[in-house]
Chain A
Amino acid sequence: MRKSGFSQFLIFMLPALILLSTFVIYPSIKTTLQSFVDENGKITFKNYKDVLTSRDTIDLSGFSRGFPLGTLLHNAIWIAIHLPLTVSLGLILAVLLRKVRGGNILKSIIFLGMVMPMIIGGVMVRFMFDGNLGVINAFLGLFGFESKTWTAYPETSLFSLIFGSVWLWTGFSLVLYSAGLETIPRDFYEAAAMDGAGPFKIFFKITIPLLKPITVVVVTMTLLWELKIFDIVYVATMGGPGGASNVLALQMYTYAFRELNTGKAAVVAVLLTTLTITASYPLIKGSSDAR
């Protein structure tokens, strides 16, 4: 009986195992091995040394001189700004639109950014901040500000991309939080209101704590998206000017397809994989705890 159970387990697992081995495990191992192979085919740590000491990756002199600061720090800045903005905006909008008439239509409109291909999103971000055609300049022009292409300057290019992409991702957190809000029993709110709790107290003491599992998912998924951000940057600025908006995924692409150096590209891939696994740990842990 036990034996047949194991055979059944194997039969059901086999297709998934084959696919995972072919498309995930083998490429991952191969990439990791590749990261230790230099241009001459020798096993070495040179690629790691080159990438991790490169100004492309970390450039601390940027703090006194101005951007770029290196791809690793750019990704960190992206996370530091984009993550709280999209998560909090999604939550606030979900709460506000919950009881508003036509709220679902508004949610659908906000969610459009999420279903749009990120390449198109990148083009739109580029145009939004353009000096000739941009909506941002048109708006700022109302207050007398001079028109400029925000993505063309090292001080503003990264921030333009970060702020410009908030609307692309807010739909994700909005939809998840909206679904999460529906799972909170109304009794909790009614009991709190009877006890004299105001809307803010209810929000902070009931809504937020009960949405914690959703928040873990939203934060983790957003973090992963920010770590592997590529398409928007590629289309809008190509990481420029002077690397001021470059990110890890684009650095990997440049090593692989411009420098044709697969070893260095593999190092960035390993770095990215390590960071994403670390970032997704709370989600994995959360799901195993729930079980």
Chain B
Amino acid sequence: MRRLVLMVTLIILIGVFLFSKTLTVIGPWSGAEMDKFTPVLEKFEKEYGIDVEYRIYRAEDLANILPAQFAAKKTLGDVIFMWPWFVLNQAKKGHVIDVSDVIDESKYLPGVLDNVKMNGKLYGAAYTGKVKPGFWYRKSFFEKHGLSVPKTWNEFIILLEKIKGIPGIKAPIASGDGVGWPLSDVTEHFIITFGGPNIHRDLIAGNIKWQSFTVRNAFEKLTSLLKKGYFGEPTEWTLVLKQWWNGDYGLYFMGSWITGMVDDPNDLGVFSLPGNKGIVFGADYAFIPKYTKYPEEAKTLLKYLCGLEGQTEQVKQGGHVATVKNVPLIAYPPVDREVAKLLEGVEALFDLDDSIGGAFQTTFWDQLKLLWVRPERIDDVLRTFDEKMK
């Protein structure tokens, strides 16, 4: 009898092991960012009874691994967060599941799903996004040194000059480096401010040349600051974040996720460049590879994550802005409401290099590193951008 019970238990255990469905979600978030994503997945597990395993892969690494995996009709994950241009690129090759039946476009912010739409079908969905609103500062730092938020370009220059004069300051603005995107974010802000939101859109669409007068003009505003030494030397972005927080720099251009990376988010203040009429809204996109073993469960997870439930849970954690409509404002932490206020009256725009993608993206990041240390080579940099847009 005992043997029989033992056998049955063993068979059940093996059965559970063999037939249990565990979905694998792949995303770029680690550390503090992952800690804020985990509750969203835990809620799904509790409500839907499907186990989920989260694995960290940077988008840069996924770009290496996934094409080979897909070519072999295999996949690392069931739901994968990735650049939208990459999703469409793989969708064209037939590696991505059409999710139009589970994602209702009308429930999302207008245009936010355009990046993952092809021939009227959706090949991915937008998760929450982060805005790149402008220059962050410590309120306590500004109070201590009698600084105020600038309302005009001239006031901005005066502010930079004042910060430069503070003893112990390395430079007025910290320059984040490493992978390359921090420099591209601040550059896009200058393009939008001095070229306008339409120029930003035209650049993404390839309707305007980088060497055109308007774009060059926006870049000249940026290089004028670089030449005067207002920007610090490009330094790994998390390292320079600490240095900025410790008072080595006065300002730091970063996305809204910064609120989750500092010791005291209530000490944070942010302002856009005076005259700015558009803010980059960078959404995270997820897709389901064709080679998932559990397509229906993966669709359920995608619908949850990118739907009202998942996004509400995520924005509660801070540092995120919903792309789906009807997320209650009360769900946002106070500091994120301040970020949301900056969005009022300005246009939300796609991230430029994330939208164009491909070889342009890495070239954009790399050339900006050059521009940061050699601003006089602006023409060479813009020419390279035009070459890579072809």
Interface residues of A (CB under 8 A from B): 55, 65-66, 131-132, 148-149, 152-154, 238-244, 254-255, 257-261
Whether A153 pairs with B362 at a CB distance below 8 angstroms is no
Whether B361 pairs with A258 at a CB distance below 8 angstroms is yes
Whether B359 pairs with A258 at a CB distance below 8 angstroms is yes
Distance from B364 Cβ to chain A, minimum over Cβ atoms (Å): 11
Shortest Cβ-Cβ A-B pairs, 9 listed: A242-B370, A241-B369, A259-B359, A241-B370, A240-B366, A257-B64, A240-B369, A258-B362, A258-B359
Whether B380 pairs with A244 at a CB distance below 8 angstroms is no
- In the complex, A255 Cα to B67 Cα: how many Å? 13
Whether B358 pairs with A152 at a CB distance below 8 angstroms is no
10 A-B residue pairs with Cβ-Cβ distance under 8 Å, sorted by A, are A55-B387, A66-B374, A131-B233, A154-B373, A238-B180, A242-B367, A242-B371, A254-B362, A258-B362, A260-B358
B102 at the binding interface (Cβ < 8 Å)? no
Partner of B381, one of A238, A242, A254, A257: A242
Whether B234 pairs with A243 at a CB distance below 8 angstroms is no
Distance from A275 Cβ to chain B, minimum over Cβ atoms (Å): 23
Whether B67 pairs with A257 at a CB distance below 8 angstroms is yes
Q: Majority SS of interface residues in chain A?
A: loop
B89 at the binding interface (Cβ < 8 Å)? yes
Partner of B366, one of A132, A153, A241, A259: A241
Whether B374 pairs with A154 at a CB distance below 8 angstroms is yes
Whether A132 pairs with B362 at a CB distance below 8 angstroms is no
Distance from A194 Cβ to chain B, minimum over Cβ atoms (Å): 61
- In the complex, A19 Cα to B181 Cα: how many Å? 42
Whether B235 pairs with A149 at a CB distance below 8 angstroms is yes
Distance from B239 Cβ to chain A, minimum over Cβ atoms (Å): 7
Name which residue of chain B comes closest to A61, CB basis.
B380
Distance from B229 Cβ to chain A, minimum over Cβ atoms (Å): 13
From A65, A132, A255, A261, residue with most partner B Cβ within 10 Å: A132
Extra inter-chain contacts (12) besides given A241-B373, A244-B370, CB under 8 Å = A152-B233, A152-B369, A238-B179, A238-B366, A242-B374, A255-B359, A257-B64, A257-B67, A258-B63, A258-B358, A260-B67, A260-B358
Partner of B233, one of A65, A149, A242, A254: A149
Determine the chain A residues whose CB is within 8 A of the CB of B235 once the complex forms. 131-132, 149
Give residues 195-235 of B contacting A (CB, 8 Å). Answer: 233-235
Distance from B343 Cβ to chain A, minimum over Cβ atoms (Å): 31
Determine the chain A residues whose CB is within 8 A of the CB of B188 once the complex forms. none
Name which residue of chain A comes closest to B232, CB basis.
A131
Whether B374 pairs with A254 at a CB distance below 8 angstroms is no
Give residues 20-73 of B contacting A (CB, 8 Å). Answer: 63-64, 67
B313 at the binding interface (Cβ < 8 Å)? no
Give residues 341-390 of B contacting A (CB, 8 Å). Answer: 358-359, 361-362, 365-367, 369-374, 377, 380-381, 384, 387
Determine the chain A residues whose CB is within 8 A of the CB of B89 once the complex forms. 260
Determine the chain A residues whose CB is within 8 A of the CB of B98 once the complex forms. none
- In the complex, A154 Cα to B239 Cα: how many Å? 22
- In the complex, A132 Cα to B239 Cα: how many Å? 10
Determine the chain A residues whose CB is within 8 A of the CB of B366 once the complex forms. 238-243
Determine the chain B residues whose CB is within 8 A of the CB of A66 once the complex forms. 374, 377
B177 at the binding interface (Cβ < 8 Å)? yes
Distance from A259 Cβ to chain B, minimum over Cβ atoms (Å): 4
Whether A152 pairs with B359 at a CB distance below 8 angstroms is no
Whether B369 pairs with A242 at a CB distance below 8 angstroms is yes
Name which residue of chain A comes closest to B67, CB basis.
A260
Q: Given A65-B380, A241-B369, A241-B370, A257–B233 Cβ distance below 8 Å? A: no
